[in-house]
Structure 1
């Protein structure tokens, strides 16, 4: 082989290796639940926002957010999501270096996609009229130390009650509808789409026409320690994510997916989730999401206070120990202030 051919072969091999390394470096693994709560990530991928930032996203489905903690700890997963539960704080206390970096979904007035349902027959009979009537009821929440349990505590406080006044049972959200229908439980803190299905099926009704726990941070975006060390890539991911969250916000109107971008958002959700009915998406109550990405630390602190009072979290830890809003702040500095899209007539 001539020297020229040899050098050409070496250069070609080097270029292939370099391209492969660059691709590996720019591939970000993201844990999802394959539900509408993943809207921000799904929109960013489908609209090409990640691609605009030079990022190739690999979506990895998980049955629950709790299962994301271990791969986030090892760096096998770069980005995860879920609730800021007692388990998250306990993981950090065990030296798992993960951080909450952005809002993924919260409850706001008019956007109570997570709320307290009461069996309709108990309302019709007059057994339930106010929060004080929760006394003696069997109420389901998702899991011990979950945000839904803290939300139940807020509802009970409105009725002058405590957790000792109800019989709490732990059921995954998908099981709430059947349990309500079979009268195995009297009430539940649950989320969409179970809420709409229960109401439309005349199985249950909302305990209150207003949001019970406005501001509660139900879902968050979490970065692994390994991913955070590449601040440039982690910030570029956040830029794409917040662009998507703003696109999602433009789909919201009047407590529904009815804004200017709603049709596109619904198409993306239909393509990527189990619900394939566009009309149903327009009937459910969507989650609120901060267009600037920051989480509600006051609500998180309130939940943590409850977890500590119940003994679910016993270590010396505060919300500031698990939240890092610098990536969202850097993304907003790059993108500028959010300007809601106005529907054209």
Structure 2
């Protein structure tokens, strides 16, 4: 297990003048939710997620050595980069990248020596209500680590992936769960060896075959901007009246999942996952200021899923992120029945009848 200081390099053995890398990184869906954080993007409680496969960000990083490393760019920043989204300049996102570079500069001292061109696109529709910060920051972190590996070729794979996850976390907390593995744990948990607040780790224990090809169909209920950002939502946990009990509950639910993952108990899995989703939104409704991110159609979908499950005994369940969209989770063996149910009964609750079909994936891939 690495410590924070292990990721600060002493010196590089190689020099690289220019080049480019291309990585894809997927989104992920948390089963045990992270809500509330401490300084430096440290989670207030551990979380575990399924890595997705189809909803991903594709990012190309081109880089060229600058003549003078200390020169400031026109905005007064020490970092020099152009940012393109789907091939077009994306100025409004540059401050977020600049802040990310400021946070990670201690771990990647070469950042000030290069001019970067970051060209990024998503496989899911823009403004589809799918959080792209997790996949986007993970893809960027993988590219930056590829450059560091070129500067230090003796780097081990373990170090490469764990440092990539640490960097991604500093861009967007949940991004650290999009780097490597089908099931990823982030946050220190006594019963999960190797787990850390600093980076995500592949779930280290037995996973029943039932979970290895799990499906996630994402129902796009509301594609607009969220009225409350996740950053603000996390901050509202600092003096939340139920925060401590919530953090304890997350640890308890993660412990429950250890045996559930091993024995494939879908009934218990459903209880944990749905209760986690509703607890997340309960914390939003009971913070000060309070807010509701679910929409009427979110509730219609939840009730329809409960009714269908009760009538058919098909093990389908829902989870929610900090938004109105519904992730419908189910094992691959019932895919046909569930997709038919979605088309027959749930599509009408989606904005423009839109939904995305995804499934469990393996993490970031170099192209």
User: Does the TM-score normalized on the shorter chain lie above 0.5?
Assistant: no
Bigger Rg over Cα:
1
More helix by share: 1
Structure with the larger strand share: 2
Scaled by the length of structure 1, the TM-score of the pair is 0.26
TM-score where L is the length of structure 2: 0.25
